[in-house]
Structure 1
Amino acid sequence: MRQFSLIFLLVISVIHTLAVDKNNFKTCDQASFCKRSRSVQHERSPFEVNIDTLIVNPNYINVDLTNKHNGQIFDLKLEGIKGNTFHFEIDEKSPLKPRYRVVDALKGEPTYEAIKVTATGSDITVKCGENKVIIYATPFKLEFYQNDVLTISANSKAKMHFEHLRRKQEAPPPPENENEQNENEAQDQNQDEPGTWEENFKSHHDIKPNGPSAVALDFTFHQANILFGIPEHADSFALKTTVGNGDPYRLYNLDVFEYELNSRMALYGSIPVVYGHGHKSTSGIYWQNAAETWVDIAGTASEQNVMESIVSFVAGSRQQDAPSAHFISESGIIDVFVVLGPSPNDAFKQYTALTGSGNLPQMFAIGYHQCRWNYNDQQDVMQVATKFDEHDIPMDTMWLDIEYTDSKKYFTWDHQKFPNAVEMMKNLTNMGRHLTFIIDPHIKRDSGYFFHNDCTDRGYYIKNKDGKDYEGWCWPGSASYPDFFDPEIRKYYADQYLLENFKENSRDTGIWNDMNEPSVFNGPEITMPKDNLHYGGWEHRDVHNLYGQMQLVGTFDGLLRRAENELRPFILTRAHFSGTQRYAAVWTGDNAAEWGHLEASIPMCLSLSVAGISFCGADIGGFFGNPETELLYRWYQTGAFIPFFRAHAHIDTKRREPWLYPDDVKLIIRDAIRKRYSFLPLWYTMFYEHERSGLPIMRPLLSQYPLDKNAYNIDNQFMLSDKLLIRPVMQKGASKVDVYFPSRNGDKQADIWYDIDDYRKIERVGVESVTVNTYKVPVYQRGGTIIPRKMRIRRSAILMENDPITLIVAVDSDKRAKGTLYIDDEKSFAYRQGKYLYIEFEFIDGVLSSQLIDETASYTTKVWLERVIIVGLDKVPSSATLRASNNQATQVDIIDASKTAFTIRKPGVSLMEPTWSITLNY
């Protein structure tokens, strides 16, 4: 058995170094429920509303919905939610057994609003505030209006499909006429197709004890030009038409080795939210279902690059048919939230109002992370950390992959390699750094392993279809998987993080939850069989896409209690679902050292950001393979402007620490990392404002420029908040890159942009070819904004806590600017008790002023204002006058004056001052 285990793991290691084998993963035709639901063709939907059954409540209605082809009755519930949002559910009226409802994705119960209902013989109108829904009875259709403008309709293409639970021998009711008989015969034939009641894929057999249970519904976005969302896919930001063009997009959490680019294949996470954006409005659909889901897209005009989009999206043009999305899930109910915008940022906030914002991370987590599979031992870890200091390169976190453990047993250490892990953590802490290590969900089946013995004795493992502990294969060899859906098991798992249980730990280490799709090397599609059983009797098919998130819930709880609820946990996850942002950061998985994977990191993180997960990143340099030096430094330059900034590599790759490269390459990488650290005050402020508002940090251009149709398909550049425009260099040998400067009103009205390196001013709409060298990345500050930076770069973020601030004031065409700065202790939850400073800066009429946004909050800090750089004024003042809150005036010097910018030197004011101003003197 031991010899077999070693051979098996060797085979798996080889598999992990190869390109993706698409034969390991299903197509829609191989997933019988997808094939059946996708083939539904009705000229007229068989579903009808029985208006006589309408029940009206203050916040919702219920009404019966009947499938006239088989007589099955369903309950339709519709309710209004505060903030331009509706929610509706469709479930069987009297099912043979309850169907699964997702209960762990929302941040809490939504705030419902009062509704007004009117009904006629043919329709029901439900009004909520200024919005309304019209429910058409025959055939059934839902129309959602935002301010009397039809925005979204459901079932307008008659693709609703709901396979009610039944016994296999159940006979349909007798037909009322010949046409219905023909349709019933077609439906019966569908139900008897291979895969309906049991299904095979390769060597795996799925018994499907509940029979066919698929649900599907189509949505049309009447005001949209493009659709985007439904991460995670290695594809363009704007979704492509799939109808008549291959498989739909697939949402099914899978471990995909070296995934393929420009693909609709499922990856590690599944977030079933899609947005439609057009000139008039943005709206969205959140399809709350954790089962395997496919999404067909039709009617989009998105398969173009930026230059093609500029040509095709001429003013007023749009495709003939409104874009639509057809959601198909294997089980569960139809559970839908409709967000009506009307702006892109409105829609993003409405979604995060439901599923939550990301928590403000500790400052160290926003810094640079150094990782590989694997650092060899304790000495290796400390040598790498010391080398960063020797080469004057900032770094905040060292990471350990699976080899730190005792034979792949989590919550243990290999004491040969790491004889004193606690001492290592303390040494890193003394350097101002942190450690993050991996904890995966597969548990080694080893009679000498406490975690396995406890799970076996207490019945904590997921069961197979026969009710026995499920056994699969992963890194340890034979492994089983805790059922994190059970609160008792989740608490047991969380308890293992407590220092009294896991003594070789510290209260502020970060945790990396990987392989949590879950990955099962010998399972169907490298994951768990769908007929496995979970807490509550639910099949794995019902909850698959939520499994990783339920591990995160336990990890988050354990880290909170490990630090007595004082410190903010840092967790990184690979698997994700709606709501994951409340617990963890996400990275894009096992990418490759190829230019295409660098390019793909932008649309992948943009798609995650608009789906709630702002704390996103991709492995710097690529996980698989050895990057050429140009690719490596261009990746560092790109990653420096993406929220999660980590280098990581496969165990078989060459070491990539920056000092292992020639000095010219090392210095480019050093420059990129140091630039990241100079912007840490801005990053920290953006993360705080994300928690507060729900808006994404990394944003597509259309978020700020919704009227510029030329910007809709652009996904090789992006914005950070509404302040910076970034166009990474992602092509080999590039000496120039094209940067698109968007229009404010869909015409030639331009914002002013300033190059962050030399403050060159750009005042135009359209593409500009920008010259780049090895150090240059086109990054621009938007005129009208004020950005905080720290220019004293130290070895780590936490050592910069008390360093002074520099404000970059970039004026707009009216010579005005605004900005914000957030300050707290950078690690604890004390800010939620009012221990912080949230400051607004404003420049108007030659006066820069500061005031507290939240006057009830307070925080003691040593941070002070070191300099102010003002960009874009027509003339340079002779001096400036600082006036603090005590009204005492002080003259401050003007230095480094040029045609583009000048510096106010050492105003010296404390940022604890409730108000102060600097007046320019001419």
Structure 2
Amino acid sequence: MDPPPRRLAALLLFLLLAAASPAARAWKKDEFRNCNQTPFCKRARTRAPHSLDAPLSLAAGSLSVGPDGSISAELSHPSRPRPLVLRLSALPPDALRVQIDEHYSVSTPPHRRFYVPDVLLPDIEARTLHLPEPKTAAGVSTVALSSDLEVVVKHDPFELTVRRARSGDSVLSFNSHGLFDFEPLQESKPEGETWEEQFRSHTDTRPRGPQSITLDVSFHGADFVYGLPEHGSTSLALRPTRGPGVEESEPYRLFNLDVFEYLHDSPFGLYGSIPFMIGHGARATSGFFWLNAAEMQIDVLAPGWDAAAAPANERIDTLWMAEAGVVDAFFFVGSEPKDVIKQYVSVTGTPSMPQQFAVAYHQCRWNYRDEADVDGVDAGFDEHDIPYDVLWLDIEHTDGKRYFTWDHSAFPNPEAMQRKIADKGRKMVTIVDPHIKRDSSFHLHQEATEKGYYVKDATGNDYDGWCWPGASSYPDMLNPEIREWWADKFSYENYKGSTPTLYIWNDMNEPSVFNGPEVTMPRDALHYGDVEHRELHNAYGYYFHMATADGLVKRGEGKDRPFVYQELSLLEVNGADVGGFFGNPEPDLLVRWYQVGAFYPFFRGHAHHDTKRREPWLFGERRTALIREAIHMRYSLLPYYYTLFREASVNGIPVMRPLWLEFPDEKETYNNGEAFMVGSSLLAQGIYEEGQKYVLVYLPGKESWYDLRNGSPYKGSASHKLQVLEESIPSFQRGSTIVPRKDRFRRSSTQMVNDPYTLVIALNSSKVAEGELYMDDGKSYDYQQGAFIHRRFVFADNKLTSFNMAPDNLGNKKFTTECVVERIIILGLSSGAKKAIIEPGNREVEIESGPVSLRSGSSSVVPTIRRPNVRITDDWTIKIA
């Protein structure tokens, strides 16, 4: 995470299985509420379209343009105690912000609704565009949003539509089915009404009464909708949850929970909640983001669910239900999916640039027992010639689950242990969870108690829940003062036994409370500013993570980027626990998991303490060789991955991508969840069944694809039935791309820094290709002041050219390297080329035949320029003669 003021609203797109956290119990369905047991969801879901007794309307004459360029109006109904205030504002290039809250006055109840802080970029108001005066006729107001888009507001009943100005085609609409409902805050409980809610043995006092919000959003021109990550669903596109022809299921639930051995193929929410949805189809791409940290339930509705509406061809209707909060929503419109993602991150911020070691392989287990175990695992990787970069320690490394401590019987010399690992260029990670052991002798608990830094229960006392240490309390991370206090705990002085090569794992951030309702904190617990937990539940882990990241930045005096992993989803650092957290996978399927896991943005092996040991060399010599090759493949591609992380930090486009993000016009990609893209150049498809003999792989696009293992070409826009090989999963490089690699293998990525590069050129039908390479020191923030190298490679007219992409005078920092290109592999080059001329210098080198991969063992050979030895930092050309 970048240091303040930049913040990241976590987004995990397109990953079907998220990393699991430690758990002692299996899935128990009755521990968690369903929609019928959740009053706000049950009420909203039983309403028919256009059936509200009190549909809101725009007050006559209330629509006006304010001095800040936004448009405001009042929404009211005679039955409501107070009107609602509507605010419309625009952000470049094509984003609409819709804010709706109650009108507050002297007679307003003392508790106002919660606005989620520190998620939106701080300059968002300064970037707000000045909207023109609305044009109103016959109860409809039209506002130009951009040269191509306009907002149409219907007054009675209230409805809002974003449409194309020229064609009049709708793109997004709000309340077109008349289900927008905003329960008003009440001054006191009406006689005879019960506000308390019961679930199992838990009582939610709900002292402020019902305050839910329901709204319908329609994605016009969409064939599918995607997003709402962190579910165990096997479908990339979100399936309808109710409507004609659909067996009614639970809505997609956004409520952070540590769900032990969660149900497969379920809309039930897991560790993180991101209320962001993308609609995509052949006609349009759009996005909807609702900034709200309360529990949400979302229905995806099948065509025909609203009998009174026009046929839902090429439109997908959704129903959003939130327990509390306000409407602070963003409508994004783009010409393609990447435009929508770029607009989303223009609001929330882009992912931070990770340290380079974070992109390599990580080894974890609950738990490595002691220093001898750590030493043995570390030595095992060296003995079996398998690189790794980070070794993780779970909760058992602490003194009785007191975080920031060590079990000195098992880890008596933590600093020496870390230094021994660091001598090989490796790092360590320890876990730090939000629950603090309620032990009067524990200094952290003493200090938090004295300062009043814990979350309070509904009676105002420090909340006391049960987690790994036993009786525990939880710092109130909504409070900036407490986040600053927490950040200080990561200093070397406060975290005894830590070193500069020790990084942090935040777990149990839901927050997880073993004896709490649904294994989490009660909704009526109280936070800073008299905010109920129900209002910020889904953001608690975000603030905890923020404080930890700030602590590591502070520890390094602002020089080094932090690495903080949390089970709540991160946009780029995502990936399933390789091997799965629970159970013991069949050894051959474990190999397959490593082969697909090597393509994840975050590549970590992890397992529960009840599983058999799973270090990569424990499954026989042949399987060890296959796992070694998968990890080696990842290490060879580290330059490409690091370049992708740089791209994500600039424009937000994720490293791991669904096929439709790169090929938005190909309908065959829209619901393809078997394969995924890594950046724009590589495609991988896992093998998910033991003993599978053949696999069907769809390769999109008009250009050829080349097998990563042997360089064999395959036609694009076609499905290929391929024989399944034990050596690898189907993986391909896209024609028209250039991928940088490093093919010399060391113990860790740190030891590869000065190694030479290989460029793999995959030509398209026009014999053209291009690619990029980004590099910096891999750890500091100096890149923000110009200390990086960014090259663009273009192959055209039988000539490879290297260009500088770094802007001039970006800052006063510099980064240099002596690395050279030692090999250029050209896929798709016509036979007959014998030599290449390098400029400057008019130097001639031979074109030979060589393997695509030094590790493949394949007899396939392709044209290869050996030892051109051009510096990676220089401008140069290599002409094929």
Answer yes or no: same fold by TM over 0.5: yes
Q: Which residue of 2 aligns with 1:711?
A: 669
Deviation at 1:19, TM superposition (A): 3.2
* 1: CA distance, partners of 2:826 / 2:583: 45
Match of 2:214 in 1: 216
CA deviation string 1:259-299 (max 9, x = no partner): 11110112110000011101022101001100010001113
- SS of the aligned residue for 2:294 comes to coil
Which sits farther off after the overlay, 817-826 or 46-55? 46-55
1:544 match = 537
Cα gap change, 1:72 to 1:758, in 2 (>3 Å): same
- Aligned counterpart in structure 1 of residue 162 of structure 2, from 144, 169, 180: 144
Corresponding residue of 2:85: 75
Task: Give the Cα separation in 1 of the matches to 2:82 and 2:241.
Answer: 31
CA-CA distance at 1:71 after TM superposition: 5.6
- Aligned pairs (5 A) from 1:99-138: 99-110=113-124, 111-121=127-137, 122-130=139-147, 131-138=149-156
Structure 2 equivalent of residue 237 of structure 1: 236
Contact 1:77 1:89 in 2 (8 A): yes
Q: Report the residue type matching 2:752 in the other structure.
A: M
8 Å contact from structure 2 (residues 81, 184) kept in 1: no
Task: Choose the corresponding residue for 1:918, options 866, 878, 881.
Answer: 878
Aligned to 2:71: 61
Taking a change above 3 Å as real, the CA distance of residues 14 and 373 of structure 1, as seen in their structure-2 partners, is closer
1:323 is paired with a residue of what secondary structure? strand
Does the aligned pair in 1 maintain the 2:21–2:567 contact within 8 Å?
no
Residues 80, 184 of structure 2: 8 Å contact kept: no
Residues in 2 aligned to 1:157 and 1:14: alpha-carbon distance in whole angstroms: 40
Determine helix, strand or coil for the equivalent of 1:616.
Answer: coil
Equivalent positions of 1:114-193 (< 5 A) are: 114-121=130-137, 122-130=139-147, 131-148=149-166, 149-170=169-190, 192=193
Deviation for aligned residue 1:67:
2.8
Structure 1, unaligned stretches of length 5 or more? 1-12, 172-190, 302-317, 577-585, 587-612, 744-749
Structure-1 residue corresponding to 2:56: 47
Task: Give yes or no for the alignment of 1:908 onto 2:860.
Answer: no
Distance 2:222 2:303 in 1: 9
Aligned to 2:475, which of 476, 482, 490?
482
1:522 equivalent in alignment to 2:515: yes
* Residue 870 (str. 1) matches residue 863 (str. 2): no
Cα distance in structure 2, aligned partners of 1:522 and 1:17: 13
How far residue 240 of structure 1 moved from its aligned partner, in angstroms, is 0.8
Report matched runs for 1:716-865 at 5 Å: 716-743=674-701, 750-856=702-808, 858-865=814-821
* Contact 2:189 2:195 (C-alpha < 8 Å) held by counterparts: no
| Structure 2 counterpart of 1:100, one-letter code | F
Do 1:368 and 1:396's aligned partners in 2 also have CA atoms closer than 8 Å?
Answer: yes
CA distance in 2, matches of 1:764, 1:504: 55
Q: Which residue of 1 aligns with 2:308?
A: none
Q: Counterparts of 1:227 and 1:109 in 2: how far apart (Å)?
A: 30
Which residue in 1 is equivalent to 2:14? none
Residue in 2 that maps onto 1:85:
95
Q: Which of 394, 402, 406 in structure 1 is aligned with 2:395? A: 402
TM-score (norm 2): 0.92
Distance in 2 of aligned mates of 1:651 and 1:15: 9
Candidates 299, 323, 334, aligned match of 2:302? 299
Aligned twin of 2:6? none
Question: Offset at 1:503?
Answer: 2.7
Q: Which moved more, 1:201-210 or 1:86-95?
A: 86-95
SS in structure 2 at match of 1:53: coil
Q: Distance in 2 between matches of 1:41 and 1:449?
A: 55
From the superposition, tell whether residues 833 and 169 of structure 1 become closer, same or farther in structure 2 (CA, over 3 Å). Answer: closer
Structure 1 residue 237: deviation in Å? 1.5
Query: Could you say if the C-alpha distance between residues 267 and 300 of structure 1 is closer, same or farther in structure 2, counting changes exceeding 3 Å?
Result: farther
Alignment partner, residue 445 of structure 1? 438
- Confirm or deny: 8 A CA contact 1:76 1:91 kept in the other structure: yes
Q: Taking every aligned residue pair, what percent have the same amino acid on both sides?
A: 43
Q: Do the aligned partners of 1:225 and 1:300 also contact (CA within 8 Å) in 2?
A: no
Q: How many matched pairs? A: 826
Residue 33 (structure 2) pairs with residue 26 (structure 1): yes
Deviations 1:317-356 (A, max 9, x none): x963621111110011111001111211111111111112
The one of 33, 37, 44 equivalent to 1:37 is 44
Residues 770 and 15 (structure 1), Cα distance of their counterparts in 2 relative to 1, 3 Å cut: closer
Which residue of structure 1 aligns with residue 590 of structure 2? Answer: 632
Decide which structure has greater helix share. 1
Give the distance between the partners of 1:59 and 1:734, measured in 2 at CA. 60
Aligned-pair CA distance for 1:18: 4.4
Contact 2:630 2:728 in 1 (8 A): no
Contact 1:876–1:897 (8 Å) recurs in 2: no
The superposition leaves residues 531-581 of structure 1 with CA deviations (integer Å, 9 ceiling, x where unpaired) of 0000000000001000001001110110001111111101110135xxxxx
Q: Residue 223 of structure 2 contacts residue 314 of structure 2 at CA under 8 Å; is this kept in 1?
A: no
Aligned equivalents of 2:59, 2:82: Cα separation in 1: 12
Provide the secondary structure at the position in 2 that maps to 1:906.
Answer: strand
The 1-side partners of 2:313 and 2:260 are apart by 39
Asked whether the 8 Å contact 2:360–2:388 carries over to 1, the reply is: yes
Does structure 2 conserve the Cα–Cα contact (< 8 Å) formed by 1:508 and 1:567? Answer: no
Could you say what secondary structure the match of 2:709 adopts?
coil
Distance between the aligned counterparts of 1:108 and 1:14, measured in 2?
32
CA contact (8 A) 2:22 2:366 kept: no
SS of alignment partner, residue 91 of structure 1: strand
Structure 2 counterpart of 1:637, one-letter code: Q
The 1-side partners of 2:611 and 2:516 are apart by: 27
The equivalent residue for 2:5 is none
Residues 857-903 of structure 1: CA distance to partner in whole angstroms, max 9, x if unpaired?
Answer: 6521021110101110223312000103xxx2100121116997300
1:374 to 345, 367, 370: 367
Q: Which residue of 1 aligns with 2:8?
A: none
CA RMSD of aligned residues (A): 1.8
CA distance 1:644–1:625, change in 2 (3 Å): same
SS in 1 for 2:529: helix
Is 1:48–1:68's contact at 8 Å kept on the other side of the alignment? no
1:319–1:634 distance in 2 versus 1, CA, 3 Å = farther
Q: Distance in 2 between matches of 1:629 and 1:15?
A: 22
Instruction: Give the Cα separation in 2 of the matches to 1:16 and 1:641.
Output: 27
CA contact (8 A) 1:146 1:342 kept: no
